[in-house]
Amino acid sequence: LQFYFNKHVFSLEQAEYAKEEILWSNISFHDNRPVIDLISKKPNGILLALDDESNFPKSTDQSFLEKINFLHANSEFYEKPRMSSPEFLVKHYAGTVTYHVRHFLDKNRDTLRADVMQLMIQSKSDMIATMFRELRDKTVTKTISKTSGSIVTMKPKTSTVAAGFHESLLNLTELMSKCHPWFVRCLKPNNH
C-alpha cells in the first residue's frame, strides 16, 4: 500500500507537474519495491518461504529461520541477528523491524477444524451459518472430470494465514489500481 501511495502521490503527480510546467520542489522518497520483493516476490519471498515450510510436517520455526537466512543473506534489506536468537530483521522504509519466529509456523497453519466449521454452519443464527457456509464453499473446488464429464468436488491443500493475507492484499491493490485517484493541487501556498 505504501508503494501504491508513493507511486500516485509522488511519482505520477510530480510527472504531471513537470508536464504542466508547474514550479515545485522535487520531493524525494524511498522506493520500497525491494522490501516488497523481499517479503512477497516469487519464488523466495519470506511469505512464500513461510508457506513452503508450513507444508512440511516436520518443519520447525528454526528450519524456517535457517531457510530465510540462507535465501536472503545477501539482501541489503534483510539482516540476521548478531546472536543466535530466533529472529530476523527487515529494513523497511521507516526503519528496521525485528520479527521473532517463535510459533510462526503454528500461527501460519492456523486452520479451522472441519467439525467446528460444520457446527458453525448449523448455527441458529443465519448470519453465522451463512458466513461459515461461504467460507466452506470457498475452500472447496469443483471441477469437471475429463473421463466421465461429471462434477468432481476436490478439497485443495489447506490455505495458510500468509497465503490468505497475500491474496487479500493483491486483491486490494488490484482493486485500487482500477480506480483513478485525484488530488487537489495547491499552486499558491497559503502560509497562514
Longest dimension (CA), the chain: 76
- Distance from C-alpha of 62 to C-alpha of 165, rounded to nearest angstrom: 22
pLDDT tens series, the chain, 192 aa = 777 777 777 788 788 888 988 887 888 877 888 999 999 999 999 999 999 999 888 999 999 999 999 999 999 999 998 788 899 999 988 899 999 999 999 899 877 777 888 899 999 999 999 998 888 777 665 555 556 666 555 555 557 888 888 888 888 888 888 887 776 666 677 677
Q: State which H helix or E strand residue 11 sits in.
A: none
pTM over 0.85: no
